Structure 1
Amino acid sequence: MEETISLQELFQTLKKRMWLILSLTILATLISGVVSFFFITPIYQASTQLLVSQEKSEAPMINVGEIQTNLQLIKTYNEIIKSSAILDIVRQELALETLTTEALNSKITVSAVGESQVLTITAQDPNQFVARDIANTTASVFQREIMDIMNVDNVSILSQAKATDTQAPIKPNKMLNMAIALVVGLMLGVGLAFLLEYLDNTLKTEQEVESILGIPVIGAISSMEKKEQDKMDKMQQKLQAEGEIRNG
């Protein structure tokens, strides 16, 4: 006979293990909050925008319009901005001798929306003012050096990155981390509750005996609380003492 579980039994299991589910949910949320607030270093972000115009230098060495499309030129600029030819100069101007070119590269991202002629240089750092300086310096160095690298003068700065003391970090997202931890803790708690219920093969109630064995329960020995048991023991001792006095 195939065994089925009713919805009522599921709710009874959740109710019986509610302390476990709540404990895991609260614990996971607290751990996530403590890690997010006290152990993860906040990261700030700053962005500056460049406009790649259609104007090119009149020098005959290179004709960008004939060599590649504007989109290809944007992709080329993406690579040039993050190259050592640009970042080494940025490191020198910002006096970032302790920061390697590879480490500086990992702090910078360059993006363009679709086939837009606008490039966005974004820098991330634990210090919002350092992130601002990296973004702005990278943009200005690229604007200056691209004239020598590709013999073109078609880059202008649309907007510069800014930073304030009250600027909020972009990560960690503390509330999001705690919300995810709450959901994960709840799922773990529910899963563990059903696992413990599955592994528990003891019979605790008359209903369980009738359901599993398929026979009616004729009688049951009720459990006695500790206080009642102590009271019964004292009464029995008193009766024994009185009996011994009568017999004596």
Structure 2
Amino acid sequence: MEETISLKDIAVTLKKRLSLIALIAIIAVAVSGIISYFILTPVYQASTQILVNQKSSEQPVLDPNQVRTNIEMINTYSVIIKSPTILDKVVKELDLNQTTEQLTETITVNSEQNAQVFNLTVENEDPAQAVKIANAIGKTFSDEIPEIMNVDNVKILSPAILKDNPTPVNPKPLLNMAIALVLGLMAGVCLAFLLEYLDNTIKTEEDIQNILQLPVLGAIPKISVEDEKAPNSKKLAAKKMGSGTLES
């Protein structure tokens, strides 16, 4: 025998477990907010733009081939700027309390499409320190690249600056809480249907008819303690109501 579930059954289940679903969602949002605001450490970002271009004195007329070469060189420069050759000097210069490997993990290099510019981004828990590190890496790179590549085509286009009210890039409490709300609702709905599936108790006359495929012959009303203490007339009335539900 195949069991089917209708939209009405789904709505009844959700309505019956609505308080459970709401409770799980509220708990998920609260936990996410507490972790985002009070436990996770804010991380700030600072970026500097670096231009790859030959000096105008060497090439007075813009050469498309030279531009294409500079763009292709950005991939090589992206690797060099994160290499120990550059970062070791930055760690020593700023007396950073981190290794070169740890500093590398905080650096991101992105190149602009078909442009002779790439962005160097540094993340740090201190916004002022992030700016200082980004500018130090850019300056060290521009100073060292002529010796490393035997070219002089790198210039700091836009150094990193410290804003008045820097905003952390991570964590994002509102986004985290929104995600927690969705996950909490999904978990609550899944739990509601799981509890409904595991609940094999018989509660209504419809359950008897659906499970046993037998007609209901009668129903015995529930008599409370107050009904027992009530006058005999109320007891007789209750008995009459019970007998009236008998079906042949």
Would you call these one fold, judging by a TM-score over 0.5? yes
Per the alignment, residue 245 of structure 1 pairs with: none
Would the alpha carbon gap of residues 19 and 202 (structure 1) be closer, same or farther in structure 2, given more than 3 Å must change? Answer: same
Shift, 1:71, TM fit? 3.5
RMSD: 2.2
Unaligned runs of 5+ in 1: 59-64, 237-248
Unaligned runs of 5+ in 2: 59-64, 233-248
Number of equivalent positions: 225
Shift, 1:215, TM fit? 2.2
- For the pair 1:219 / 2:215, whether they are aligned, the reply is no
After TM superposition, the structure 1 = structure 2 runs for residues 81-160 of structure 1, keeping only pairs within 5 Å, are 81-96=81-96, 98-160=97-159
Shift, 1:54, TM fit? 3.4
Would the alpha carbon gap of residues 128 and 75 (structure 1) be closer, same or farther in structure 2, given more than 3 Å must change? Answer: same
For the 8 Å contact 1:56–1:152, the answer to whether it is kept is: no
- For the pair 1:177 / 2:173, whether they are aligned, the reply is no
In 1, Cα distance between the equivalents of 2:98 and 2:164?
A: 24
Shift, 1:140, TM fit? 0.8
Shift, 1:153, TM fit? 1.3
Between 7-16 and 107-116, the greater mean CA deviation after superposition: 107-116
- For the pair 1:20 / 2:43, whether they are aligned, the reply is no
Shift, 1:151, TM fit? 2.0
Per the alignment, residue 246 of structure 2 pairs with: none
Shift, 1:56, TM fit? 9.0
Q: Structure 1 runs of 4+ off > 6 angstroms?
A: none
In 2, Cα distance between the equivalents of 1:94 and 1:203?
A: 73
Listed one character per residue, the Cα deviations across residues 20-51 of structure 1 (whole Å, up to 9, x for unaligned) are 11111111111111111111111000000010
Between 12-21 and 211-220, the greater mean CA deviation after superposition: 211-220
In 1, Cα distance between the equivalents of 2:206 and 2:221?
A: 14
Shift, 1:81, TM fit? 0.5
In 2, Cα distance between the equivalents of 1:10 and 1:201?
A: 16
For the 8 Å contact 1:57–1:153, the answer to whether it is kept is: no
In 2, Cα distance between the equivalents of 1:180 and 1:29?
A: 8
SS in 2 for 1:69: helix
For the 8 Å contact 2:44–2:125, the answer to whether it is kept is: yes
For the 8 Å contact 1:81–1:87, the answer to whether it is kept is: yes
Q: TM-score, normalised by structure 2?
A: 0.84
In 2, Cα distance between the equivalents of 1:11 and 1:119?
A: 55
In 1, Cα distance between the equivalents of 2:222 and 2:74?
A: 81
In 1, Cα distance between the equivalents of 2:125 and 2:140?
A: 23
Per the alignment, residue 232 of structure 1 pairs with: 228
SS in 1 for 2:215: coil
**Given residue 132 of structure 1, which amino acid in structure 2 is its aligned partner?**
V
In 2, Cα distance between the equivalents of 1:84 and 1:30?
A: 43
In 1, Cα distance between the equivalents of 2:46 and 2:214?
A: 74
Shift, 1:216, TM fit? 2.1
Identity of aligned residues (%): 51
After TM superposition, the structure 1 = structure 2 runs for residues 183-202 of structure 1, keeping only pairs within 5 Å, are 183-202=182-201
After TM superposition, the structure 1 = structure 2 runs for residues 64-79 of structure 1, keeping only pairs within 5 Å, are 69-79=69-79
For the 8 Å contact 2:52–2:71, the answer to whether it is kept is: no
Per the alignment, residue 238 of structure 2 pairs with: none
**Given residue 214 of structure 1, which amino acid in structure 2 is its aligned partner?**
Q
Shift, 1:235, TM fit? 6.9
